[in-house]
Chains A and B, each alone.
Chain A
Amino acid sequence: MEMRRTPILGMWGSYRTRHQAAFEESRYSLRVFLKDRLALLGVCLILATIIVAVAAPWIAPYPDQGRGASNVKERLEAPSRAHPFGTDASGRDVLSRVIFGARIPLMISSVVVAAVLIIGVPLGGIAGYIGGWIDELVMRITDIFLAFPALILAMALVAFLGPSLRNVAIALVITWWPWYTRLVRGMAVSLRQRPYVLAARTMGVSQWTIIRRHVLPNALGPVVVQVSLDVGTVILEVAGLSFIGLGARPPQPEWGLMVSEGREYILSEWWISTFPGLAIFLLVLACNLVGDGLRDVLDPRTKR
């Protein structure tokens, strides 16, 4: 009797054969990337964080405390078997709060990066490819934003909008898009000179299609590297803004806010600040390791 492949596997198989070349190419890049032990470590850490963030209600020992319910009976307890990371000033289990806290940086950084890409990349492509007064206008606007130190501008914006995580995300998007616009614009200016862009023009392709199909896809490598290097910084800034009281509001389990809450007790009850601080450190480190690894794979100068 004839063996029949399941439809899903069959679709996958035909997809693979149709894109054989692409598969070989990406498999090569993947191999280079995976050979980089540090990048692999970074990927593992990020995956672990994602799993922890998704599964927080099930793996946190005290889910309600993780979400913010106080438990004054057990305040400021040192790490023990019941509370591996100790408890904070309101008696909440620090481990549970660190676990729930993993959700915030992941959410905010992905939202910020997505918004920045949606605004910055097309704008840069248009400015760089079309040039002329459009380029001039867009670049001068980015200059205005880049004239302020990013963190100070973000602080001013949050102070103006009112402290909350949503406003932190908005402020970071506003301070961040000009970097991507400039990056893509620079790429577009050099890609504009490429023979295949000229060839596309000789085939009667309109400039919007050229931007969409020829400029942006070829500018994507550096953008991906920049994103992966910036995710860590976004996480750090979210934590930083929360630390100074401009981001998350208590009792949200935000790592930067938790570090801030433990400040008064840092000499005696060190665990309140230390464990969320370590979590920030590890996640940012992981992001940077992945960023470095990606740069090695995607940078054509180090390829092959």
Chain B
Amino acid sequence: MEKMRMNVLICSGTGCMASESEKVIKNLEAIIKARGFANEVEVVKTGCFGFCEQGPIVKIEPDNVFYVRVGPKDAKEIVDEHIVKGRRVERLLYKDPKENKPISRQEDMQFYKKQLRVALRNCGFINPEDIYEYIAAGGYEALGKALLEMTRDEVIEEIKASGLRGRGGGGFPTGLKWEITKKQESEVKFIICNADEGDPGAFMDRSILEGDPHSVIEAMAIGAYAIGADKGIIYIRAEYPLAISRLTTALKQAREAGLLGKRIFDTDFNFDIDIKYGAGAFVCGEETALINSCEGKRGEPNYKPPYPAQEGYWGHPTCVNNVETFANIPVIITKGAQWFASIGTEKSKGTKVFALAGKINNVGLVEVPMGVTLREIIYGIGGGIQGGRKFKAIQTGGPSGGVLTEKDLDAQIDYDSLLAVGSMMGSGGMIVMDETDNMVDIAKFYLEFTMDESCGRCTPCRIGTKRMYELLNKITSKKGTMADIDALKQLAYMIKDGSLCGLGQTAPNPVISTMKHFWNEYMDIIKDVDHPQGEGRYVPKNKIGMKS
């Protein structure tokens, strides 16, 4: 093997591929070959760098030069100038929007300065389709360590001590979940990876699966060993074709390397993973609905308890964890719980990946330690609001969360403080809104989403969200009265109290929180001739379910 002197890393995540990064790769390879450098310079397809706003990203190592917005036509200049002659292509460097001077090093960019990449450690660094690159980056050592040097209880203790909590939004301590599943007496147990990422504007899990699929596979094997399962399932939505194909490749390579299958690391531990495709229903991210869908039934949630840890997939104890949760596990095992627990706040340890979207300058994927403030994310990493407009609100937690305004921007990001200010962590979608956005329309947008996604099993959610949507429609078409606003409010709390699963219980949140923070915007479009002072009330026709 000739010694490569240069690596050209290029993002081949879904975001950059949508901006023709595949053509850039093809052109780079062809031109490098034509110039006779094919034996010295390697083009490496990597996962997401996170800076999707500036994609496609090309990074040249060891020179540590970061090119942005590289189109297929720029390939020739990069090869002829940088690779052949060592001259940087100034016009493709990232320009700091404030000082307007080009920056070539990733470390110097505001976007990366405050980030700490743990779950995304290999995204944009290794080729996700090559298991040996993952191993070279320290992969599968955690699995070896767990199987050969640790008992099942020790693994669980380590995860418990790390303070890792579920990254799908619930925030349930992962170690505890594993312990509960381990304690169940059953011959057969399952471990499931929840890759059904459904929040509008969220793509954390997809990027991890596309950029570093082996980390999830390794972590599932560690989890399976800890709880005593020999079968794993990755439940992923069929809308993620690239993630599915990378996962399939990764599973095949892991089997060939003996890291899945019978007698892993020559121990008694057997484990293999199947992929199940979901049709993209939001409710299937809820674990009981997910299990139903895995079994081939309708994706509808069940009443809990029994929790899946007690009776899950085909009635056997099942542990369901989110993709990002899994991605943290191998590092915790290799670097130790103490290291992990040293990052973050008192009750929320580690880092969290967020998908920044909306009216923000640096749209993309960021990973920050728990405890940074929303202000740091929006104005530091995110680079402020597009077009220099004024910040209005940020929606965290997707359609289940709520809006936060200027006064909450200094809240620390962790599970508990976000709940305290009336939103939630959720899975990590963050949508930024500026002064031109109408909040009633935003509430309506989210409600339309949950209304569509309601599985229809329980009445409050199925009918309630529909009625709420109708009321909102009436209000936004300026035909609403105060009685409608009152009805909307009552209905919101009724759905919250009466729904079976998390989808319904949180569906009214966007309406409740926009009413709380932006009451004036509702009032602006109410034309109530009978109650100009806003004293109108909605009187239900019967009292069923009402607290009078």
Q: Do A and B come from one complex?
A: no
| A residues lining the B interface (CB < 8 Å) | none
| B residues lining the A interface (CB < 8 Å) | none
